Amino acid sequence: MRFDTLTLTLLASTALLTAAAVSLAMGAGQTVDWLPASATREAAPAAKPPTLSPLSAQALSLTWQQSMFSPDRKGDLAIGKHQASSLDGISLSGVIIDGQAQWVLLRMPDKHNLKLAVGSSLDNGWTLTAATPQQATFSHQGQTRELRLPLLRLPPPSKAPLITLPDVPTP
């Protein structure tokens, strides 16, 4: 019987893999070799980090004017100076009530979302005074307004006739 090279290679690799599996099953490689014990070293005392001197208000205000990572950055836009003093265009998109913590999710007129906690105020002066699962109550200068979650409804049923399959006798 004559074996070709492929058969001999497969037999040799099978024999090696079998020997490796048997040696692992017998416990080879399961011993742990620890380094010899040495004298304990004392940790160096932690150095106190250096304290930084506080920056002046003028230096802090410069960080808002120009970023060190983007030299062509412009100052941040002032928010809330030109907004209307009403809740027009603001819609309630969600209410979160978790024990004593209460938040509302608002969709602002410029299409960005805002999360507001009870007791917090909007930039236009309206304060969130209460939140229930379906509505949020705001007050401003003695006025009270409520925003309600939209009530979603299913569309009316279709008036189109149902699809029917043709009556075909089986062959």
pLDDT single digits (tens) 97-113:
888 889 999 999 888 99
Give residue 112's domain range.
Answer: 91-143
**pLDDT tens digits, residue range 146-167?**
999 988 888 888 888 888 888 8
132 part of a folded domain? yes
Residue 139 lies in a domain: yes
Output the six-digit token pair for 51. 């304290």
Judge whether residue 81 has pLDDT over 50: no
**Residue 112 placed within a domain:** yes
CA-nearest of 119, 161, 113, 159 to 136 is 119
Distance between CA atoms of 25 and 21, rounded to whole angstroms?
A: 6
Tell me whether residue 75 is in a domain: no
- In this predicted model, which residue has the larger pLDDT, 136 or 70? 136
Q: Could you give the CA distance from residue 71 to residue 94 in angstroms, rounded to a whole number? A: 39
Q: Is residue 110 assigned to a domain?
A: yes
d(CA 107, CA 3): 78
Burial class (CB in 10 A: 0-12, 13-18, 19+), 131: buried
Give me the phi and psi of 5, to 5 degrees please.
-65, -40
Q: Does pTM surpass 0.75?
A: no
Q: What confidence tier does 31 reach under pLDDT thresholds 50, 70, 90?
A: confident
Give dist(CA 17, CA 5) in Å, integer: 18
44-75 pLDDT, tens digit each: 777 887 888 887 877 777 666 666 676 666 65
CA–CA dist 115, 55 (Å, integer): 32
Mean pLDDT of 127-142: 92
Query: Please, are residues 139 and 87 in contact by the beta-carbon 8 Å criterion?
Result: no
In a domain, 152, yes or no: no
CA distance 139 to 24: 75
Q: Tell whether 154 is covered by a domain.
A: no
CB 120 within 8 A of CB 127: yes
Q: How many structural domains compose the chain?
A: 1
In a domain, 136, yes or no: yes
Average pLDDT value over all residues in the chain: 83
Distance of CA 164 to the CA centre of its chain: 48
Strands 91-98 and 101-107, bridge-based pairing: antiparallel
